[in-house]
Amino acid sequence: SMVAIGSINLDIVATAPRLPTSGAKVTDAVLTRYPGGGAANQALAARRLGADVALMGRVGQDADADAALALLRESGVDLSGVAALPDAATGVALIAVAANGENQIVVAPGANLQLASASLDLPDVDALLSEHVAPGDAVSRAVGRFEGFTCVTLATTQEVDDAVLRHADLIVVNESEAAWYGEGLASREGLVAKTFGASGAALFRDGTEIARASPPAVSAVDTTGAGDSFTAALTVALVEGQSYADALHFACAAGAAATQRNGAQPSLPTREEVDRLLRG
Ligand code: ADP
């Protein structure tokens, strides 16, 4: 069993032939709404892979909250740690996507910001998925106290407490995050997974590469959610006791599977879909 802690958003996606240049306007977009937010995505990803999952986060008391939580609720993620606050709006990510896949994202975190000052009691579970934790806040302290397998993902917009980095059993970064954090990250004690988009991922332990994997061939239509799918899958596989090599292959397949449909959460694969991709 595991808990995911962090952001819950409604993704409002405008798909257009091209992105606007500064000050200009694009007038032929099509709008779609998807549940999103890193922690919510990771929670649903782990659930679809068969884990018992609880989510901790904050939303508003508004219609966006219902939309943001719909798939999580449907799939049986425990939402008792998600508080709906009366005077904050549910987090929203405004995403513009061009036909060539380029995107621009503006996030209004709203209620998510309140998690930083909440009093948080993590449930007694085997593993924790925590999504870029701000230094010194309540989430950071809760993650630092957690005694089970701790996975932390990083972001290029947010420093993380050294104590949290040292405490984590697994840190997951994509290429831009790895570059932002520099070489020190790969040489840390414990596990670091680096993802390289369509080129797959590598796993390091105590600074030494111990596994490398490529994703199965897929026709990618939307890569949002690939990283969250990868992270949840790697954690699920490692907690199940799979070997490093098998766990990394499983995670790459889960990441690849998440690129085959639009939206972050709708594209997250079930265990059967990942196994089918792995069999080729
Ligand atoms: P993020 O979404 O965090 O930037 P990546 O883009 O590196 O992370 O994707 C995470 C994982 O998802 C990759 O390691 C890979 O296994 C899989 N993946 C991502 N994009 C593709 C793609 N275009 N084709 C196949 N697999 C992909």
Would you state the pLDDT for residue 103? Answer: 86
Would you state the pLDDT for residue 161? Answer: 86
Contacts of 255 (CB under 8 A, 6+ apart): 195, 201, 215, 226, 227, 229, 230, 233
Distance, in Å, from the CA atom of 93 to the CA atom of 34, rounded to the nearest integer, reads: 10
Distance, in Å, from the CA atom of 140 to the CA atom of 133, rounded to the nearest integer, reads: 6
132-164 pLDDT, tens digit per residue, is 777 788 999 999 999 999 999 998 887 888 889
Would you state the pLDDT for residue 44? Answer: 98
The DSSP line for 223-239 is -TTHHHHHHHHHHHHHH
The model's pTM: 0.96
Q: Is 228 a catalytic residue?
A: yes
190: helix, strand or coil: coil
Would you state the pLDDT for residue 42? Answer: 98
The answer to whether the CB of 38 falls within 8 A of the CB of 6 is yes
Q: Could you identify the atom of ligand 1 that is nearest to the CA of residue 201?
A: 14
The answer to whether the CB of 110 falls within 8 A of the CB of 91 is yes
The DSSP line for 46-101 is HHHTT--EEEEEEEESSHHHHHHHHHHHHTT-EEEEEEEETTSPPEEEEEEEETTS
Distance, in Å, from the CA atom of 222 to the CA atom of 186, rounded to the nearest integer, reads: 28
Q: From ligand 1's centre to the CA of 166, what distance in Å?
A: 26
Number of H helices, E strands in the chain: 8, 13
The architecture (CATH level 2) of 2-6+37-62+78-86+113-279 comes to: 3-Layer(aba) Sandwich (3.40)
Q: What is the pLDDT along the chain (280 residues), one digit of tens a residue?
A: 999 999 999 999 999 999 999 999 999 999 999 999 999 999 999 999 999 999 999 999 999 999 999 999 999 999 999 999 999 999 999 999 998 878 899 999 999 999 999 999 999 999 999 987 777 889 999 999 999 999 999 988 878 888 899 999 999 999 999 999 887 787 788 999 999 999 999 999 998 999 999 999 999 988 889 999 999 999 999 999 999 999 999 999 999 999 999 889 999 999 999 999 999 8
Q: Is the torsion defined by CA of 161, 163, 166, 169 positive or negative?
A: negative
Residue 199: how many other CB atoms lie within 10 Å: 12
260 lines ligand 1 (CB under 6 A): no
The answer to whether the CB of 77 falls within 8 A of the CB of 53 is yes
Strand 78-85 relative to strand 53-60, pairing: parallel
Q: Can you say how many angstroms the Cα of residue 265 is from the centroid of all Cα atoms in its chain?
A: 10
Domains of the chain by residue range: 2-6+37-62+78-86+113-279
* Residue located nearest, by CA, to atom 11 of ligand 1: 255
Q: From ligand 1's centre to the CA of 265, what distance in Å?
A: 15
The ipTM (two decimal places) reads 0.98
Would you state the pLDDT for residue 157? Answer: 81
Would you state the pLDDT for residue 88? Answer: 97
Contacts of 241 (CB under 8 A, 6+ apart): none
* Residue located nearest, by CA, to atom 16 of ligand 1: 252
| 103, two tokens | 């995107």
Contacts of 216 (CB under 8 A, 6+ apart): 252, 253, 256, 277, 278, 280
Q: How many residues does the chain have?
A: 280
Which H or E run contains 166?
A: helix 162-167
- Identified catalytic residue from 87, 228, 246, 275: 228
